[in-house]
Each structure stands twice: as structure tokens, then as C-alpha cells.
Amino acid sequence: MAFDALPPIGLGTFRLQGDTARDAVRTALSLGYRHIDTAQMYENEAEVGDGITASGIPRREIFVTTKIWHDRLKPAELGLSLRHSLERLKTDHVDLALVHWPSPDDQVPMADYLGALRQARDDGLTDHIGVSNFTTAQLTQAREILGDTPIFTNQIEVHPFLANRKVVDHAQTLGIQVTGYMPLAVGRVMEDDTLMDLARHRNVTPAQIAIAWAVSRHIVPIPSSVRPDHLKANLDALKIKLAPEELAAIERLDRGERLADPAFAPAWD
């Protein structure tokens, strides 16, 4: 089946390697996750594919995302690189293929690589296409280039210390789903007094509060974890409905703390 929307939470696999990646994917799927996120740059697509196969869950029931690295955006290379990803993932298609980062300094024109990405979709390599780390201006440009071809998501960094409101609001205004990576701020949410206090009152964890906050903003979080108890807790966070005063307290934590900011990043909003 082809998914018409992103599952509400996914497993992020950044930094997961070898058997750790295989086991995390297999365990997540056994617990009920149906959304797995990887990327060419993570160098774990083969292990992610192994974990999917080992889970015994039918491939058609799992939403798989991979991302194309910025050195493979030339039209002659993009489709081939995605075919290599499919080989590593041991599948004939992914559900979503993203441009991982906009081409640094527009070395490859956006119209060229988005056109190649659309062609990859037309060729059956992916059901949906989207972008990652795009600014509001880049999203507007992408929408103009792709026209009637839907942009399935803009995957961006979002956590209580980087609400990324301008990009989130703009994407949602354009009808583009936002996927939030690093929703736990690489563990920093576990050390925040406000989040710890909110969690204590609900007898949950600060990580669950952070995930529930992202979901309240209609963002699909993709936290990374390897421990079964943490994987289950992150999934259970979907059941938490935060009160307006709790949401307001979390909103006040925004300090623009960006954790993913490589030298080739665009000029952020």
C-alpha cells in the first residue's frame, strides 16, 4: 500500500551503526513503530534494511524514509544514488526520498535536483518526495518549482530549545507536513528543570513531554533510541495531551539553540 500521510512518530537512526542499528530497527517495529528514518550519510542503510527484514513485519506496512546527500544532487547522479540506497535497504522503493540539505551555495540549481527527485518518483524509486533543512524562502522556491507535485515534508531540527516557529508555520501554511529531528535535543531535555517538573507531575519522562509538545504542534517527531524501554516510552508519548499552561511553559524554553549547523547549512530563518 502507498501511505498518504506520515505515521505520527518515527525512529531516527542517525549515529546508529552495525548490530546496534539492526537491533534498534527490529525492536522498534516489534513495539509498534511503522516509520523508520535513515539517510545515505548515516552509512547504515544496509543495517536498517536488515532490521526491517528481521522484524517479520511486511514491507508494505512500514514507512521508510531515506535522504540524498548534497554531493549527489546533480541530475545525472541523484537517481543512481537512490537506486544504490534501495539496494542497501533491500527494497524496490522507499516511501519517502528527501533532499538532505539544499545544495550548498546553490552549486546545483534547485530546479535541477528537484526535477531529478520528481523523476525518481515517476520512475517508481519512491512513493513521495520532500526536503530537509530548507528555509522558508527555499520552501517557497521549491513549491514554485514543483508546482502540482506535493512536497511531502520538510524535515527540520525541532525541540523545546529550538521551536523553529517561522519555518514550521510557513511549511504548515503551504500544506507541508513538518518532521522534527533531534526532538530530544540529544538528551538535553532530560536535564531541563521545567521539563523535569512537568514530567514529575504527570509521572512520565521529560523526553515524553518533549515528544508530546512536538505532536501538539502537528509535527512528526523522529527520536533516536536503542533501549527497548525508551523506544516504548517514546511511542507511548503519543497518548499524552498537554494542557495550555504546560504548552506555554515549554514555549518559553525556546532559545534558538541549534545543534545541527554545519558549515554548508543555509542562512537560517
Contact status, residue 46 vs residue 56, Cβ threshold 8 Å? no
Q: Which of 33, 42, 113, 181 is catalytic?
A: 42
CA distance 174 to 249: 28
How far is CA 203 from each of CA 185, 186, 193, rounded to the nearest angstrom? 21, 22, 15
Contact status, residue 245 vs residue 195, Cβ threshold 8 Å? no
Q: Which of 31, 48, 51 is nearest to 238 (CA)?
A: 31
- The C-alpha angle with vertex 111 and arms to 109 and 115, in degrees rounded to 5, equals 125
CA distance 20 to 132: 25
Helix 244-251 to helix 193-202 angle, to the nearest 10 degrees? 160
Calculate the CA 99 to chain-centre distance. Answer: 12
Strands (E), 50-195: 63-68, 94-99, 126-132, 153-157, 177-181
Is residue 42 annotated as a catalytic residue, yes or no? yes
Which residues are 153's β-sheet partners? 177
Q: Which residues are catalytic?
A: 42
